């Protein structure tokens, strides 16, 4: 019997640096690349927010179609199905006589629950679900400590990992692929099918995100160009806007690292290199913390207590905040930019979060759930991890004191222009 591997794409929508894909090609006669649109990811949360709002939904759809195009260019295709992976994958395994299924391991509870269901269903068919690791800069197996011993303090984590671990080279993108014979490769739902409306472009936005690996790689090249230019103009750009492609896995963090590292010999690029690297380390850190502590990050009281929550006015205050109607200009500007574009800078995210938690005394989980709906770059570990941290209920209790709303506002909007631009 020929060996046929089903490659289940999730948040790893790329050909470059994709070990799962490379191994599937090497170990099979043909592969079946599959993406499953799972409506559970587009439903409502218990906080009355959506799991995925229209801006990210659009980005996801573009990313999936981008992957299909990329696969077509190397002689393949992507089977697109809609439903529950735990129902569909076993069906496909039987229909196409699949001998093994590959996927990338996730860390947050809903995602790991789904892969457990898939694994159990496949087990009944005596088919193995092979897990790959491909979302982080540093691989779990290369860490100088087991997950349970990863330092809780970010600075210690960074110090140890940089001293004792390695960043592996990227896997080359395949240039040819042999896929299973499929009569109907399926079509992808539209935004309207998902009951979402397209977002109108806001003229104030200085950037447009388009999903897909090709766009992600092109944007990475723009970042590198900006680094080169900054070397002479000294105009540092400390917001790379790489996060949305990283979140969808259309860009691998290792690819980003090795590309920006090529700039090392260019004078004055170190600051930007260090800034992006620091961000990638924070990203790894939260993923590893999720692996270490699991669901604790989704709990309102996490590893400690937020402090005062004004239960009586909570819903009203939350609504004001999300609708950019707090009356506090900078915060309203941040929320307008978020609502209109799906992207705000790190400092803007912290500012909005601090105001919601400390000034409006709303539980941080409502804010995290709202960001989950709105952010174009949402990923569970980065979002819930950062929120827990800002709320002071994260695993590193010492980080509680580092946030300062006034200081943030001075950095975010020193001359008041931001608040004027994004006045709703």
Ligand X SMILES: Cc1cc2nc3c(=O)[nH]c(=O)nc-3n(C[C@H](O)[C@H](O)[C@H](O)COP(=O)(O)OP(=O)(O)OC[C@H]3O[C@@H](n4cnc5c(N)ncnc54)[C@H](O)[C@@H]3O)c2cc1C
Q: 3-class DSSP state for residue 130?
A: strand
60 vs 353 by CB, closer to ligand X: 353
Interface with ligand X, residue 378, by CB under 6 A: yes
Give the nearest distance from C-beta 129 to ligand X in angstroms. Answer: 26
In the 3-class helix/strand/coil scheme, how is 220-238 assigned residue by residue?
Answer: HHHHHHHHHHHHHHCCCCC
Interface with ligand X, residue 283, by CB under 6 A: yes
> Distance of CA 14 to CAs 21, 84, 277, 384, 409, Å?
9, 22, 21, 25, 37
d(CA 224, CA 43): 38
Give the nearest distance from C-beta 191 to ligand X in angstroms. Answer: 21
Which distant-in-sequence residues (6+ apart) come within 8 Å of 234 by Cβ? Answer: 268
The torsion of the CA quartet 54, 58, 60, 65, rounded to 10 degrees, works out to 160
Interface with ligand X, residue 136, by CB under 6 A: no
Select the span of 72-80, 103-111, 313-321, 377-385 touching ligand X (CB under 6 A).
377-385
Q: Which residue has the tokens 């200081």?
A: 407
Structure tokens at 325: 């109607």
86 vs 372 by CB, closer to ligand X: 372
How many binding residues for ligand X (CB under 6 A)?
28
326 vs 386 by CB, closer to ligand X: 386
Give the nearest distance from C-beta 286 to ligand X in angstroms. Answer: 5
Q: Work out which of 296, 346, 397, 411 binds ligand X, going by CB under 6 A.
A: 346
Interface with ligand X, residue 241, by CB under 6 A: yes
State which residue has the least CB distance to ligand X.
Answer: 279
Burial of 139 (0-12, 13-18, 19+ CB in 10 A): middle
Q: Work out which of 240, 340, 341, 408 binds ligand X, going by CB under 6 A.
A: 240
4 vs 349 by CB, closer to ligand X: 349
Select the span of 8-16, 28-36, 179-187, 373-381 touching ligand X (CB under 6 A).
373-381
According to DSSP, the residues that pair with 178 across neighbouring strands are none
End-to-end CA distance of the chain: 63
Give the nearest distance from C-beta 356 to ligand X in angstroms. Answer: 9
DSSP state of 142: G
Q: What part of residues 385-424 is at the interface with ligand X (CB under 6 A)?
A: 386-387, 390
Q: Work out which of 161, 242, 248, 360 binds ligand X, going by CB under 6 A.
A: 242
Give the nearest distance from C-beta 86 to ligand X in angstroms. Answer: 25
Q: At what angle do helices 329-341 and 346-354 cross, to 10 degrees?
A: 120
Evaluate whether 30 touches 357 at the Cβ level (below 8 Å). Answer: no
Evaluate whether 18 touches 173 at the Cβ level (below 8 Å). Answer: yes
Would strands 100-104 and 128-132 be described as parallel, antiparallel, or unpaired? parallel
Residues that bind ligand X (CB under 6 A): 239-243, 246-247, 276, 279-280, 282-283, 286, 345-346, 349-350, 353, 371, 375, 377-379, 382-383, 386-387, 390
């Amino acid at each position: 019997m020929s060996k046929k591997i089903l490659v289940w794409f999730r948040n790893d929508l790329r050909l470059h640096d994709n070990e799962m894909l490379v191994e599937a090609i090497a170990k099979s006669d043909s592969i079946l690349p599959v993406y499953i649109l799972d409506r559970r990811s587009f439903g409502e949360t218990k906080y009355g927010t959506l799991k995925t709002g229209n801006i990210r939904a659009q980005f996801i759809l573009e990313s999936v179609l981008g992957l299909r195009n990329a696969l077509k260019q190397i002689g393949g295709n992507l089977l697109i199905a809609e439903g529950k992976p735990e129902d569909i994958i076993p069906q496909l395994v039987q229909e196409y006589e699949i001998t093994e299924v590959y996927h990338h391991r996730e860390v947050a509870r809903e995602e790991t629950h789904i892969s457990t269901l898939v694994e159990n269903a496949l087990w009944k068919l005596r088919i193995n679900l092979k897990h790959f690791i491909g979302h982080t800069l540093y691989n779990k197996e290369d860490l100088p400590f087991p997950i349970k011993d990863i330092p809780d303090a970010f600075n210690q984590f960074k110090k140890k990992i940089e001293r004792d671990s390695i960043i592996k080279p990227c896997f080359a993108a395949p240039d040819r692929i042999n896929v299973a014979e499929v009569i109907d490769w399926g079509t992808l739902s539209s935004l309207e099918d998902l009951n979402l409306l397209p977002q109108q472009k806001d003229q104030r936005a200085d950037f447009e995100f388009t999903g897909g690996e090709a766009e992600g790689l092109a944007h990475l090249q723009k970042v590198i160009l900006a680094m080169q230019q900054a070397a002479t103009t000294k105009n540092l750009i400390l917001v790379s806007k790489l996060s949305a492609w990283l979140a969808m896995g259309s860009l691998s963090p290792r690819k980003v690292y090795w590309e920006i590292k090529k700039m090392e010999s260019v004078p004055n690029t170190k600051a930007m290199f260090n800034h992006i690297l620091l961000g990638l380390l924070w990203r790894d850190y939260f993923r590893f913390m999720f692996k270490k502590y699991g669901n604790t990050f989704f709990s309102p009281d996490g590893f400690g207590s937020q402090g005062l929550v004004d239960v009586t006015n909570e819903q009203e205050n939350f609504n004001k905040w999300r609708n950019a109607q707090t009356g506090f200009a900078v915060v309203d500007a941040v929320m307008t930019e978020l609502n209109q574009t799906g992207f705000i800078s790190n400092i803007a995210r912290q500012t909005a979060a601090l105001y919601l938690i400390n000034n409006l005394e709303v539980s941080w989980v409502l804010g995290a759930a709202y960001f989950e709906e709105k952010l174009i770059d949402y990923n569970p570990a980065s979002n819930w991890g950062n929120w827990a941290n800002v709320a002071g209920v994260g695993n590193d209790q010492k980080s509680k004191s580092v946030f300062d709303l006034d200081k943030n506002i001075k950095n975010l909007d020193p001359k008041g222009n931001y608040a004027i631009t994004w006045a709703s």
